[in-house]
Structure 1
Amino acid sequence: MQDDDSAGEQLGIVIETNDPERVWNAFRLGITAVEDGHDVSVFLLGAGVESEEITHDTFDVRDRMTAFVDAGGDLEACGTCLDLRNEEGSDYCPMSTMADLLEIVTESDRVLTIG
């Protein structure tokens, strides 16, 4: 439930893990926040950039990532972390920079790190 003081807040979520359940839950939170009227940016960092490739019988991470972007969330991935893994960004998860992460952190009312 959203109160008047938190209406439209900016939430930043930094995901630094490739643990299926943690990543799945982070995107579920992001979707819920967007649907509640918040502006939400997710930045994938370190092992988090592997999120798009996670396969798991119970936790459909890719589905939640897509639902998050489709709901209006902003999703970015560390370009250096992708390069280290010989990976590239995708259409809905572009390669980004530390400057982009800094912008998310400094412009967000709250920042949550999932590691």
Structure 2
Amino acid sequence: MKFGIIVNSNDPETVWNAFRFGLQPLANGDEVKVFLTGKGVEAEQLDTEQFPVTEMMKQLQELGGEIFCCGSCSEKIRGISPKLCPVGGMKDMYRIIVESDKVLTF
């Protein structure tokens, strides 16, 4: 099964749980692709002691999951250059949605 996860939040607990959930399908042999959009592009800056977001992001990638970040939301609007994932656009988010069996939003 293919899972698409759209993250539009900058709440550390919510974003941490989005990536934590993404680990489960990967552990079961499913595919996971994550698209960070809106406030979600701040994911790499959300680490707290209780919610190590970037650690979850790295674990997801190590298990074969893919993460994309909206270029307009990150670079043009917020001046953020993501380090852990490639910059994408609406066509990437569209592709993830169309190709996924299930789409979850956080």
Return the TM-score normalized by structure 1: 0.88
Contact conserved, 2:36 with 2:68, CA < 8 A, in 1? yes
1:85 to 78, 85, 98: 78
Distance 1:38 1:19 in 2: 26
Aligned partner of residue 55 in structure 2, secondary structure: helix
2:74 corresponds to which letter in structure 1? L
Structure 2 letter corresponding to 1:50: E
**Structure with the greater alpha carbon radius of gyration:** 1
Give 1:31 deviation, angstroms: 0.9
- 1:45-91 Cα deviation digits (max 9, x unpaired): 0000000111212111110011111111010000000121111132x
Q: Are 1:18 and 1:47, in contact at CA under 8 Å, matched by a contact in 2?
A: yes
User: Which residue in 2 is equivalent to 1:64?
Assistant: 56
Determine whether 1:53 maps to 2:42: no
User: Which digits, 9 at most, give the CA deviation of each residue in 1:12-63, with x for residues without a partner?
Assistant: 0000001111111111110111111111000000000000111212111110
Identity of aligned residues (%): 41
- Report the secondary structure of 2:4's partner residue: strand
**1:13–1:43 CA contact under 8 A, matched in 2:** yes
In the alignment, is the contact (CA less than 8 A) between 2:22 and 2:60 conserved in 1?
yes
Does the residue aligned with 1:14 lie in a helix, a strand or coil?
strand
The list of structure 1 runs, each at least 4 consecutive aligned residues, that deviate by more than 4 angstroms after superposition, is: none
Gaps of 5+ in 1: 1-8
Q: Which amino acid is 1:75 matched to?
A: I
Q: Across the two proteins, how many residue pairs are aligned to each other?
A: 105
Q: What runs of 5+ residues in structure 2 fail to find an aligned partner?
A: none
CA RMSD of aligned residues (A): 0.8
